[in-house]
C-alpha cells in the first residue's frame, strides 16, 4: 500500500450498513483514508434509521446516496469490506477482501432504533480495528488536516 490507503464498504443496497461503516470511518480518520461505499443492488436512498443512528454520534450521512459497485472501484482500493453475508463481490487480485458477518439484532426480535444502534456499535468496533490497521494506532486524526495525531 502506497500513498493514502483506501477502503470500499459494500452491502447489498448501500443504504444501511455500508453507509454507516463509511461514515464511521470518515469520522474516525478524516482524510487519512480514502473511503468509499457501494452496493450490489443499490436502493434509492440511505436508510433513515441508519442515518439517525449516526446522527446520534454527530455524524451526518444524510447527503449520501446509494451507489452501484463497479469493478473499476474494486480494483482502485486497497481493501474491500463486505458487510453481511448477502452481498457477493468477486475477489480481485491485489485487493484485500474482508467479510464482516455483522450483528443482526432482528434475529433476536430487536427492532427499530434499538436494533440500529446495536448494528452501528458492532460496525463501529470493526471500523476502529480496520482504521488502526490502515493508519496505525497513532490516535485520532486531526479533522482539519486528516492527519492522525499522536496522543
Nearest-CA neighbor of 56 among 124, 128, 132, 151?
124
Q: What is the 3-state secondary structure (H, E, C) of the chain?
A: CCCCCEEEEEECCCCCHHHHHHHHHHHHHHHHCEEEEEECCCCCCCCHHHHHHHHCCCCCCCCCCCCECCHHHHHHCCEEEEECCCCCCCCCCCCEEEEECCCCHHHHCCCHHHHHHHHHHHHHHHHHHHHHHHHCCCCCECCCCCCECCC
Q: Is 109 exposed, middle or buried (0-12, 13-18, 19+ CB in 10 A)?
A: exposed
For residue 80, give the C-alpha cell.
474491500
* Cβ-Cβ contacts under 8 Å for 36 (sequence gap 6 or more): 6, 7, 8, 9, 22, 73, 77
Q: Where are the domains of the chain?
A: 6-135
In degrees and rounded to multiples of 5, residue 76 shows phi and psi of -85, -15
* Architecture per CATH, 6-135: 3-Layer(aba) Sandwich (3.40)
Q: CB neighbours of 7 closer than 8 A, spacing ≥ 6?
A: 25, 33, 34, 35, 36, 77, 78, 79, 80, 81, 130, 134
Q: What is the mean pLDDT of residues 116-145?
A: 82
Query: How much is the pTM?
Result: 0.89
Per cent of the chain over pLDDT 90 is 83
Residue 2 has a pLDDT of 59
- Confidence band for 120, pLDDT divided at 50, 70 and 90: very high
Task: Convert the pLDDT of each residue in 55-111 to its tens digit.
Answer: 999 999 999 999 999 999 999 999 999 999 999 999 999 899 999 999 889 999 999
Amino acid at each position: 500500500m502506497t500513498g493514502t490507503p483506501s477502503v470500499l464498504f459494500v452491502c447489498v443496497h448501500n443504504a444501511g450498513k455500508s453507509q454507516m461503516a463509511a461514515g464511521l470511518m470518515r469520522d474516525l480518520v478524516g482524510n487519512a483514508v480514502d473511503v468509499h461505499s457501494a452496493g450490489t443492488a443499490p436502493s434509492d436512498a440511505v436508510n433513515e434509521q441508519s442515518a439517525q443512528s449516526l446522527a446520534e454520534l454527530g455524524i451526518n450521512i444524510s447527503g449520501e446516496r446509494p451507489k452501484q459497485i463497479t469493478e473499476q472501484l474494486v480494483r482502485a482500493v486497497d481493501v474491500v469490506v463486505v458487510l453481511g453475508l448477502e452481498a457477493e463481490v468477486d475477489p480481485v487480485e491485489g485487493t484485500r477482501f474482508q467479510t464482516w458477518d455483522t450483528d443482526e439484532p432482528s434475529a433476536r426480535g430487536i427492532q427499530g432504533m434499538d436494533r440500529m444502534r446495536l448494528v452501528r456499535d458492532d460496525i463501529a468496533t470493526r471500523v476502529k480495528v480496520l482504521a488502526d490497521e490502515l493508519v496505525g494506532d497513532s490516535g485520532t486524526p486531526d479533522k482539519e488536516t486528516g492527519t492522525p495525531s499522536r496522543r
